[in-house]
Amino acid sequence: MDGNGRWANLKGKKRIFGHEKGANTVKNITIHASKKNIGYLTLYAFSTENWKRPKVEIDFLMKLLDNYLKKELPTYLKHNVKFNIIGDISKFSSKLQKRVSQTIEKTKHCTGLTQCLAINYGSKDEIKRAVEKICKNKEKISIETIEKNLDTKDMPPVDILIRTGGKQRLSNFLLWQCSYSELFFTNTLWPDFSTEELDGIIRKFKTIKRNFGGI
């Protein structure tokens, strides 16, 4: 979800204004994806590299996430959306960890879309943690054992990866899971990303013949 800060700068406002608008886009896209019967929507909210940002911005993002989960719980329940996370949340405050756990618990019965937030997530860190679990359990390292120890062990492979904001790189996001995903890059900054643009990407995806290494 790239482009919140640049979106705010273009409007002569502080970066935090862009993050607030981006959170509203998250809500709109989540509701729309739920109505389109999409199974999983994974959103890259905070990476393992984002700790390099100014402390004031990090603190704001943590507060924004806490407030978002508190405010939008009724939205999750209304639209039958199950909430989940990937990443290592042990670095977050006990208050935020509790909020995350509560939201997971209160939506676990939902059977529609699963909205998964990637928070303090980095694909390299995820794979490292998976290998550490395998070694701890004295299992043989294989594709199967790695996959069953990833944060996404209960999720299907990624079909579509969308990056907003004009950059054409993966930035340490779901590197393992995107092995055969279709990649879409758009110049649209995340706060301006619309349900119409998402629908257009899905229509294009449906025209693609996917061989998964075959013919």
Q: Is 151 a catalytic residue?
A: no
Instruction: Encode 91-128: b = buried (16+ Cβ within 10 Å), e = exposed.
Output: ebeeebeebbeebeeebeebebbbbbbbbbbbbebbbe
Catalytic residue among 2, 4, 84, 149: 2
Q: What is the CA radius of gyration of the chain?
A: 17
Q: Which residues pair with 43 in a beta bridge?
A: 117
**Encoding tokens for residue 58?**
């990090």
Q: Mapped to the 3 state alphabet, what secondary structure does 66-130 carry? A: HHHHHHHHHHHHHCCCEEEEECCHHHCCHHHHHHHHHHHHHHCCCCCCEEEEEEEECHHHHHHHH
SS3 136: helix
Catalytic residue among 4, 24, 50, 84: 50
Q: Is 2 a catalytic residue?
A: yes
Residues annotated as catalytic (active site), given as ranges: 2, 50
